[in-house]
């Protein structure tokens, strides 16, 4: 049973700060009806947000792709995020935290006569301690992670572009279920319609072959912030890193491989 924090966590919800347990959206919201929303997840190190601006840049690119006007400039969103963190520090009890930005299109216009919350977009920002999530991943950090290349493939970008971070990703869940049936402890690794590796269900893939770091082409993937940072660090260290078409055969012949995820 989760221990109650000494101080209740607060959520930024359309310009107000309310208790986390009171944050609600309508059952007629586009997010529930269609998965019509975009989001970002960031984390802290030493209670300092990790590349927050990069995550917000991607959030606003996703908003532009989805044609959602959240009503806030990116600077206003950053200020709201900073205030959300500051207000929640006592409840976090010194732990590092996850920052979640969720923006829905709002209530469906078809139901506007009965949606008392209205049809304007909804913006929420919340933070929660990472200690329980990270603790559960300790075994993977210590002993490595298994992954399965799943029958479920990534959705081609000509249909829904995965570079926009949206919630309409049931194919991720299908891939995870398929992976679990093959190996109960495995993570899912997807391919595109050509059979080339794309990404995991919330992470990007890297492998090493003959001293060179390879990662999938950025066409049909979410271009992760940590993916970009990893490539930058590799180049600063003088390591060769290249975006490439990677086939399952190449993965089998890799010297090592890893996932990146914020």
Low-confidence ranges of the chain (pLDDT < 70): 1-6, 116-117
Per-residue confidence (pLDDT) for residue 137, from 0 to 100: 82
Query: What pLDDT is attached to residue 6?
Result: 52
* Residue with the two structure tokens 């078809």: 110
CB 57 within 8 A of CB 74: yes
The fold of 10-134 is D-amino Acid Aminotransferase; Chain A, domain 1 (3.30.470)
| pTM of the full structure | 0.91
CATH 3.30.470.10 domain position(s) in the chain: 10-134
What pLDDT score does 71 carry?
A: 97
Collect all residues with Cβ–Cβ distance below 8 Å to 4 and sequence separation of at least 6: none
Map tokens 């299109």 to a residue. Answer: 105
Predicted confidence at residue 221, as pLDDT, reads 96
pLDDT in tens, 123-159: 999 999 998 777 778 888 889 999 999 999 999 999 9
pLDDT score for 257: 96
Give the model's pLDDT for residue 140: 85
pLDDT reported for residue 197: 98
How far is it, in rounded angstroms, from Cα 113 to Cα 119?
10
Q: Are 128 and 5 in contact (CB under 8 A)?
A: no
Q: Give pLDDT, residue 55.
A: 98
What local confidence, expressed as pLDDT, does residue 139 receive?
84
Fold of 139-260: D-amino Acid Aminotransferase; Chain A, domain 2 (3.20.10)
Chain region(s) in the chain for CATH 3.20.10.10: 139-260
């Amino acid at each position: 049973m989760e221990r109650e924090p000494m101080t209740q966590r607060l959520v930024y919800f359309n310009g107000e700060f309310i208790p986390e347990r009171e944050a609600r959206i309508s059952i007629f919201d586009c997010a529930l009806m269609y998965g019509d929303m975009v989001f970002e997840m960031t984390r802290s190190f030493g209670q300092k947000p990790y590349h927050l601006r990069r995550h917000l840049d991607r959030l606003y690119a996703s908003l532009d792709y989805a044609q959602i006007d959240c009503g806030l400039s990116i600077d206003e969103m950053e200020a709201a995020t900073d205030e959300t963190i500051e207000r929640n520090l006592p409840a976090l009890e010194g732990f590092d935290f996850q920052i979640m930005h969720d923006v829905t299109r709002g209530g469906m216009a078809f139901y506007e006569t009965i949606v008392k919350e209205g049809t304007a977009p909804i913006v929420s920002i919340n933070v929660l301690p990472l200690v329980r999530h990270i603790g559960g991943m300790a075994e993977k950090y210590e002993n490595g992670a298994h992954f399965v290349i799943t029958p479920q493939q990534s959705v081609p970008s000509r249909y829904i572009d995965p570079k926009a971070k949206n919630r309409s990703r049931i194919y991720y869940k299908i891939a995870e279920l398929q992976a679990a049936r093959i190996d109960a402890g495995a993570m899912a690794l997807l391919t595109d319609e050509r059979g080339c590796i794309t990404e995991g269900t919330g992470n990007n893939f890297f492998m090493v072959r003959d001293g060179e770091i390879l990662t999938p082409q950025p066409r049909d993937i979410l271009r992760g912030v940590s993916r970009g940072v990893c490539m930058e660090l590799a180049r600063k260290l003088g390591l060769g890193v290249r975006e490439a078409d990677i086939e399952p055969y190449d993965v089998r012949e890799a010297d090592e491989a890893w996932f990146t995820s914020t």
